[in-house]
Chains A and B, each alone.
Chain A
Amino acid sequence: MARKEIAKILITGPFNAGKTTLIRHISDEQSSGKDVQATDALAQFKGMTTVGLDFGILHVDDTLDVHLFGTPGQSRFNFMWRILSKGALGTIFLIDSSSQRAIDEGKGMFQYYRERSDDPIIIGATKRDEPGAKAIDVLVQELNVGDTTVIPCDPRKVEDSKTLVLSLLQAIIDAQTGGVADDDDYDDLMDLE
């Protein structure tokens, strides 16, 4: 029996951005992602948090599975970010655009990834409906992410989660083929019905 091919996608970003939710929506099987009561200073912001890692499997066909790895958001797990990012096709970086704390932390986190990998990365700006959510252009500036694609999204909506992953996949394809996504490509991705 032929060995099944495995592709890996990393979902990362600071604390409380929606990583666990996104993985839930995209996976056929979710093997981890145990939420526990937050016990540290962040508990005031979020009651439950992920420990270890989130892990989901999406079965593509008989010969290919996608492994979705979600990193813990807290900076104390930073040693795991490097471990988890190895061998990934690309990375989705989620950030709570309504939280200055998340943006401040996300800036360093994003640079950490960028410095260690040339693999495609896209940013999903979440919590757009929260008071104080930053405009995308402000977010780009504050995160200092250059021309990295930033997509407003709500991971609680399946279609938004799909759009994020599809955008990343398109970026991976473009990176390999030398193509550049144009507006039509983006519209195609958004037109999921």
Chain B
Amino acid sequence: MADRELISFKHFGLFRKTVAMKRTGVLVYITHLGFAGRIPFTKGQLVNSLDPIQLKHFFTSAMQESYWEGQPQTLEEGQDTVAVLAGLLEPLEWNEPFCHGLSHMLCKLPIVEVKAIPVQFEDYHLEICAGLLHRQALASSLFKPQQFLDNVSNSKTLKARLKIMLLAYVSGLMNAKKEDQRQTKKNKTSGRGKSSLANRILQRIKGIGS
């Protein structure tokens, strides 16, 4: 990856991960989840938003590489997979080369103004973010969907919207890492904690339907 991307990711505070990213690239995963018309991007609009160099890169990647049989399979434990399950593409059949090319394109976007993105995430942000652009997930009480959507909707350009989505996801990634560390520490210090939790849940489950 070019220095530009590495620098841009430093804006997130992902200093320690930039080395890994440099080796593996950042996978941005796009699927055909829909916003149900709220953000009606189409594949054509997306491609039209790219500049000629990006477009060339995009199609070159699409033609030369196979997404599912390539890089993602080689990702190892501890390496970052930045996944955006995006509703960018209105019903897009599973077109792996396209996704792969798109991931390259997104990685090329300079990412700035991180702190200006007032997206709030709570526990398990990462998982929620994986379904971030999933309409039902957006209705979750775990994060602020309207705020997120407003940010996206108010952005003037498609690129800006894409950045917000990516930023939201990576912000979630960072917070989830902190949460993981907190949880790991907690689990290490309290083996009985799990047992206690399980007991409480067990009683609750028994009560379902009765």
Contacts and interface: CB of A to CB of B under 8 A. Distances in A.
Given A7-B197, A31-B136, A51-B32, A39 B93 contact: yes
Nearest to B182: A87
B81 A162 contact: no
B137 A166 contact: no
A99 interface: no
Interface in A114-147: 116
Interface of B: 27, 29, 31-33, 68, 72, 75, 77, 81, 83, 85, 93-94, 123-124, 126-128, 130-131, 134-137, 139-142, 176, 179-180, 183, 191-192, 194-195, 197-202, 204-206, 208-210
B195 A55 contact: no
B201 A60 contact: yes
A158 interface: yes
A27 B113 CA distance: 38
B205 A162 contact: yes
Nearest to A38: B94
A67 interface: yes
Nearest to A8: B124
Given A116-B77, A192-B206, 16 more contacts: A31-B140, A34-B136, A39-B93, A51-B32, A51-B85, A52-B85, A53-B127, A53-B130, A61-B200, A66-B204, A82-B77, A83-B83, A87-B180, A87-B183, A169-B202, A172-B195
A15 B188 CA distance: 34
A166 B131 contact: no
Interface of A: 5-8, 25-26, 29-34, 36, 39-40, 51-53, 55, 58-61, 64, 66-67, 69, 76, 79-80, 82-84, 86-87, 89, 116, 158-159, 162, 165-166, 169-170, 172-173, 175-177, 192-193
Contacts of B135: 34
The secondary-structure label for the interface of chain A is: mixed
A83 B201 contact: no
Nearest to A5: B197
A40 B205 contact: no
Nearest to B93: A39
A52 B134 contact: yes
B112 to A, nearest CB: 26
Contacts of B68: 76
Contacts of B198: 7, 89, 169-170, 172-173, 176
A46 B75 CA distance: 30
